[in-house]
Amino acid sequence: DAGVIQSPRHEVTEMGQEVTLRCKPISGHDYLFWYRQTMMRGLELLIYFNNNVPIDDSGMPEDRFSAKMPNASFSTLKIQPSEPRDSAVYFCASSLGGPEGNQPQHFGDGTRLSIL
């Protein structure tokens, strides 16, 4: 079984540029999560979807961040314009259960984003 697939694995871009991160969840999983991991703040939940509908985006840091899930097999996280403080590893995860943790979350290998 293919796990959660994220692309690109690495992204280096200049401040002010638009960045788009992509995720393909595990087929059949109803929930999709976007996380950000930094040394300072650890792993933070940015937004999650249930059946392609955004449910809670309270973790999205600013209006520069947006996420979409046009269908059950694809989601994007976009940063526009990007800033150096957005540099982090961004993870996508999918699950049969919601954010309360009653089902395991399956993580992709992340996108390491560097904004110069």
Partner 1 sequence: SQQGEEDPQALSIQEGENATMNCSYKTSINNLQWYRQNSGRGLVHLILIRSNEREKHSGRLRVTLDTSKKSSSLLITASRAADTASYFCATAKTSYDKVIFGPGTSLSVIP
Interface pick for partner 1 out of 91, 94, 113, 115 (rule CB under 8 A): 91
Output the smallest distance, CB 22 to partner 1, in A. 15
Q: Residue 67 burial (CB < 10 Å; 0-12/13-18/19+)? A: buried
* Closer residue to partner 1 (CB): 59 or 64: 59
Distances from the Cα of 116 to the Cα of 11, 35, 41, 62, 88, angstroms = 11, 21, 20, 19, 12
Interface positions, 9-38, toward partner 1 (CB under 8 A): none
CA-closest candidate to residue 92, choices 29, 46, 36, 33: 33
Interface pick for partner 1 out of 73, 74, 76, 99 (rule CB under 8 A): 99
Residue 105 found at the interface with partner 1 (CB under 8 A): yes
* Closer residue to partner 1 (CB): 84 or 104: 104
84 DSSP assignment? G
C-alpha span between 113 and 116 (Å, rounded): 10
Listed ranges 18-26, 60-68, 76-84, 91-99: which one lies at the site for partner 1 (CB under 8 A): 91-99
Secondary structure of residue 101 in the 3-state scheme: coil
Contact residues for partner 1 (CB under 8 A)?
4, 42-43, 45, 56, 91, 93, 99-102, 104-110
